[in-house]
Amino acid sequence: MKLTTSEDVRLAARPIQNPRAFELYLEARAEMRRYGMSLDHARMLLDRAVAIEGESPSLRAMRAFLEFSKVRGGTAGDLRPLDLAEAEARALIDLVPDAAYGHALLGFVGYERGELKAAARHLTRAAELDPADPDVRFFLAITLQAAGQIEPARLLAARFYEADPLSPFAAMLVSVAEWFAGRAGHRIEAIESALAMDPQNPIIRWALGYTYALAGRTADALQQSAWMLEHAPQLPYTVQLSSLLDAIHGRTADALEALSRIELAPLDAHHTFHIAESYAMAGDTTRALELLEWAVDHGFYPSRFFAEWCPFIAPLRGMPEFDRIVAKAARRVAEFSA
């Protein structure tokens, strides 16, 4: 087998020279993929890696990813971490223009800000520069899902899982892709295997619990919700799932009381949509419609999922205001495709 020039360069590349620093980098990255669960520990690991290795581009990029992770997990008090991540991304593009770091970070930030076209462009470029980066693959797929590009997102998820079956996020993604295609519960064994690979990851717990709820397996969903309430009570995803299940079981007062404690201002469109579901199921359709439209306006608009397949939006269907919001979402899907 003969390697191409780019393959030869990639295989020879050592972005972090010291083995212990590289190990610390990997440990920090794993912590950050738990969406705000243990970012302080991740920061400590990165500081130790920098003390050994120095300010290498890969470690700088991971520090910027940590800032981004605060917002992605819903644990940031405001959106300023995205500004920090963007500034570092642009500095890295200037410093190492042939590396994926800067474009990946701009893609992550674009997703959080709801700038899905820009996010997809940067993530696609990052994937060209580093086809093996799992975070780039994951965020490109969920960017396409948010933009209502259901089949391209599903195919990308399937390729990611085929290429990297031992990645918990690849396994989770291949099941999540089925939500948006109206097949919730299909490939559920994949997301269950993701949890087996990383049982301490609250975002996988949330996604599995939500999948169970979509499939009508609320007793199984309650098990995941109970774990999150015990281990990650501060995450908005925890409140969203527990309040959704309260509403499903008729405990609407409990659901609304929990939802009232969420600080919505620093949350992204994905978070906001799922909180709208909980409000809809709890009977506050006015608030649900407000949050649904905010989500559509700020970067989450898979219109067919809203109109046809999401059972938790059902209380809104038939309302003129809902039809107007779904029509707006469908226009945004078409604009993204164009």
The domain that holds 175 is classified in CATH as 1.25.40.10
Q: Can you tell me the mean pLDDT for 121-150?
A: 96
Q: Determine the Cα–Cα distance for residues 92 and 11; give it in Å rounded to an integer.
A: 21
Instruction: Tell me the pLDDT band of 12, cut-offs 50, 70 and 90.
Output: low
The residue written with tokens 């959106």 in the block is 79
pLDDT tens-digit readout, 214-232:
999 999 999 999 999 999 9
Q: Can you tell me the mean pLDDT for 306-327?
A: 98
3 state SS of 50:
helix
Tell me 184's DSSP state: T
Q: Is residue 77 part of a domain?
A: yes
Both 45 and 94 in one domain: the answer is yes
Mean pLDDT score across all residues of the chain:
94
pLDDT tens-digit readout, 143-167:
999 999 999 999 999 999 999 999 9
Q: Can you tell me the mean pLDDT for 261-273?
A: 96
Q: Is residue 155 part of a domain?
A: yes
Domain range for residue 84? 17-131
Q: Is residue 2 part of a domain?
A: no
pLDDT tens-digit readout, 22-67:
999 999 998 888 876 678 899 999 999 999 999 999 999 999 999 9
Both 201 and 283 in one domain: the answer is no
Q: Is residue 223 part of a domain?
A: no
Tell me 312's DSSP state: G
Tell me 313's DSSP state: G
Share of the chain above pLDDT 90, in %: 89
End residue of a domain, out of 96, 116, 131:
131
Q: Is residue 249 part of a domain?
A: yes
Both 82 and 163 in one domain: the answer is no
Q: Is residue 222 part of a domain?
A: no
What is the separation of C-alpha 23 from the centre of its chain, rounded to a whole number of angstroms? 25
Give the largest Cα separation in the chain, rounded: 65
Share of the chain above pLDDT 70, in %: 96
Both 26 and 81 in one domain: the answer is yes
Contact in structure between 289 and 326 (CB atoms under 8 Å): no
Both 241 and 335 in one domain: the answer is yes
Q: Determine the Cα–Cα distance for residues 269 and 8; give it in Å rounded to an integer.
A: 40
End residue of a domain, out of 86, 108, 131:
131
pLDDT tens-digit readout, 77-113:
899 999 999 999 999 999 999 999 999 999 999 999 9
Q: Can you tell me the mean pLDDT for 297-305?
A: 98
Both 178 and 264 in one domain: the answer is no
User: How many structural domains does the chain have?
Assistant: 3
